[in-house]
Structure 1
């Protein structure tokens, strides 16, 4: 199934130095995990999970239902009662537990990366170097915060003294379905607080003064990472007219180096889509691009008759009204549009209900600062893409969500601020 890719991408010569996936004979933990133990679901429901690269069934997994969630919530509530061991534990000891979890993930990093690739089809090296690395660093970052969350002493009028305390909100649930449904449910459920990181139709603006090859490579990392199945995918690329044709040409040349194949092979950089439903949606949008007049420069088809692999796809001549320029594709499709001036580029980039991330490629610091200030997105990358770090907040504007994850900003989402005011009496 290997397609494209030569020694130019530097992979073939270095393969032996790369970490290798482990052989998974049996997937042991397939039950729901509640109150520190694996257990069968109350209703006994199970669902199969498949390797999207081969179609082979991996295992059956216990499916948690409403009753299981209720039990998990009750267990979590008990764990944060004032008399519980967790509440009595000092802050630095909690940090040690997070560090221990990070240590265990380091220990089993090869196994966890292998399981991630088996389950999702993501190339193994991406699972190992990006997903696991990011998870471990995030745990260590917040382990350092456990004994540094504190309030303030505030000057106020008359003979009062005021201090603030930051206290935990309580039990939190992390859910990964359609965000709009969560918002509606929260609105009808005692004003539950929610933070949402939703979809995106993320614009990149490429100016003529940029490092062109850098822009091509960084944007394609954003467009094709995880086969485009990424909320931050670089899906709308606005390129200044004077460099437009060269940008398209270089993008095609760069895409030809992408290696499609077995996700477990360290040389592979492009795997399958997650399932048949997503595959069909992407192919439908690719067809719409052709039908609406965009020029298919590269890819656009499936790899093999019965697989879930889709070629990295590049369209030029894309117009703002086309479906591929408006809808979140969540697949390996790069849409390249042209612009004449900065004001036009910014206005068109912002003309979207989404506002998750954006990128600007230029060597002018003035332009970088002015354009980043004008972008209606939660993150703006300058001369880079997908530069995500545990220390920096992440979230979206508009329909791309609300609230922030990561960094110090995320702590506010999980804490309540309590004001404590004292009336002082003068003594003589």
Structure 2
């Protein structure tokens, strides 16, 4: 592919579109381009061309690689009001959440990782004998992703669900074992801290947990005891581009966000060099 083709915004191969519908009214907002196998192949070819040794992208200075991400963040921020309104029309969430939470996190993530472009360093190691050893972080290659759809709920016409609270829920029922993507709260009773920890850890999932307490000893214990990738203490649903997020057990592998989020996209290579004389 030419350099122009690897940076182009292309129309779909077969010119087909599909409607996106407002969940609040059921009306069609717009028609969106529908990609197919040929479109995916073009994207893969462009990505693979950029991945090849000696390609223009592989030779770009690390400090310059963050610039496109900074630029994208600036463009998004310039259209923040429009994009928040579009997000609200598309999935029905409150405008204030789209504007203050979703788009805020988008901006922070782009700028955070733009800053990492020239800071993901290798290490050097003291070796026995006349050798010098160091590590490199190299790109794992072309990655294809299926993005979570948590905010795009598909429900029957009407799209409105009345909030519900279920009391005295037993551990064996579905709403106690599975995440409900809707305004549903479950209340489960317990007598001791050890009991609630054991019951929580009996789940096959382990994405996140939260505890509210004024007792620092309980906060310390309950931040360590749950088998979960995230534990919130006296807060809930707080995320940052700097902090890794991911789950234990069936809630997934690996982490996103923070420095840990880079690990899935790189391979660590060890290079050991014979030298004529070592001076530590």
Query: What TM-score, normalized by structure 1, do the two folds share?
Result: 0.61
Counterpart check, 1:399 vs 2:250: yes
| Distance change >3 Å, CA 36–CA 115, structure 1 → 2 | farther
| Distance in structure 2 (CA, Å) of the matches to 1:159 and 1:334 | 64
Counterpart check, 1:52 vs 2:23: yes
- Residue 369 of structure 1 deviates from its aligned partner by 1.6
Counterpart check, 1:132 vs 2:103: yes
The aligned length equals 274
Q: Secondary structure at the match of 1:126?
A: helix
Counterpart check, 1:351 vs 2:202: yes
Give the structure 2 partner of residue 376 of structure 1: 227
Give the structure 1 partner of residue 164 of structure 2: 313
Offset from partner CA, 1:348-397 (integer Å, 9 cap, x none): 11121111011011112211121221111100000100110000001111
| Distance in structure 2 (CA, Å) of the matches to 1:348 and 1:129 | 35
- Residue 38 of structure 1 deviates from its aligned partner by 3.5
| Distance in structure 2 (CA, Å) of the matches to 1:315 and 1:44 | 48
Q: Secondary structure at the match of 1:381?
A: strand
Which runs of structure 1 show a deviation greater than 6 angstroms over 4 or more consecutive aligned residues? none
Q: Is the 8 A contact 1:121 1:274 kept in 2?
A: no
Q: Secondary structure at the match of 2:141?
A: coil
Give the structure 1 partner of residue 53 of structure 2: 82
Query: What TM-score, normalized by structure 2, do the two folds share?
Result: 0.92
Counterpart check, 1:338 vs 2:217: no
Give the structure 2 partner of residue 275 of structure 1: 154
- Residue 62 of structure 1 deviates from its aligned partner by 2.0
- Residue 161 of structure 1 deviates from its aligned partner by 1.4
Offset from partner CA, 1:275-316 (integer Å, 9 cap, x none): 22xx5xxxxxxxxxxxxxxxxxxxxxxxxxx52111221111
Superposition CA RMSD, Å: 1.9
| Distance in structure 2 (CA, Å) of the matches to 1:60 and 1:35 | 25
Where structure 2 has 5 or more consecutive residues not aligned to the other structure, the ranges are none
| Distance change >3 Å, CA 396–CA 162, structure 1 → 2 | same
- Residue 66 of structure 1 deviates from its aligned partner by 2.1
Offset from partner CA, 1:45-95 (integer Å, 9 cap, x none): 432210011100112222222222111110111123333332222111112
Give the structure 2 partner of residue 256 of structure 1: none
Where structure 1 has 5 or more consecutive residues not aligned to the other structure, the ranges are 1-33, 179-228, 231-272, 280-305
| Distance in structure 2 (CA, Å) of the matches to 1:37 and 1:91 | 22
| Distance in structure 1 (CA, Å) of the matches to 2:44 and 2:184 | 40
Equivalent of residue 168 in structure 1, options 115, 136, 139: 139
Give the structure 1 partner of residue 236 of structure 2: 385
Q: Higher mean Cα deviation, 138-147 or 37-46?
A: 37-46
Give the structure 1 partner of residue 178 of structure 2: 327
| Distance in structure 1 (CA, Å) of the matches to 2:272 and 2:196 | 51
Offset from partner CA, 1:22-41 (integer Å, 9 cap, x none): xxxxxxxxxxxx84334333
Q: Is the 8 A contact 1:94 1:146 kept in 2?
A: yes
Which is bigger in relative contact order (C-alpha 8 A, separation at least 6)? 1
Q: Secondary structure at the match of 2:137?
A: strand
